[in-house]
Amino acid sequence: MFRDENLRIPLLYRRDRKRDPDSIEDLIDGSYIEDLKNTNVSWNNIELLPRRKYFEDWTDLPLGLGIDEFSPFKRSSVRLWPMQLTVFGLPPAIRTLQEYQICCGLIPSASNFHETSSTIEPLTSSFP
């Protein structure tokens, strides 16, 4: 992502913005992200070495995973569940635009989809 000319400047948003400590202007200003910034990175409750904090480097990107259901055909029991990543390190005005969304999977299902952990495991296992 950092090599893409169209993304390089927007990805500097989190590094360059001046945060007002007395207000929440963006999702990344919230207490959850602030707590993570003071937490050592771990995987399966084991701290990774060398020790480092979440979002310690400006190239560490906060991501959000969205999963939703839709039926592609009328009168069909087939359901599709797209999995989409949102890069919360981009400016709020553009982070939800289609060209900045990352489609990382499409899960077909014949009924309501309840078991997400086994389906998203390949995706989540690639992130510490």
Counting the structural domains of the chain, the total is 1
40-70 confidence digits (pLDDT tens): 998 888 888 889 999 999 888 899 999 888 8
Distance (Å, whole) CA 6 – CA 3: 9
Please say whether the beta carbons of 37 and 55 come within 8 A: yes
Residue 29's domain comprises 5-124
- Give residue 58's pLDDT: 86
Tens digits of residue pLDDT in 98-109: 999 999 888 887
The amino acid that residue 7 corresponds to is L
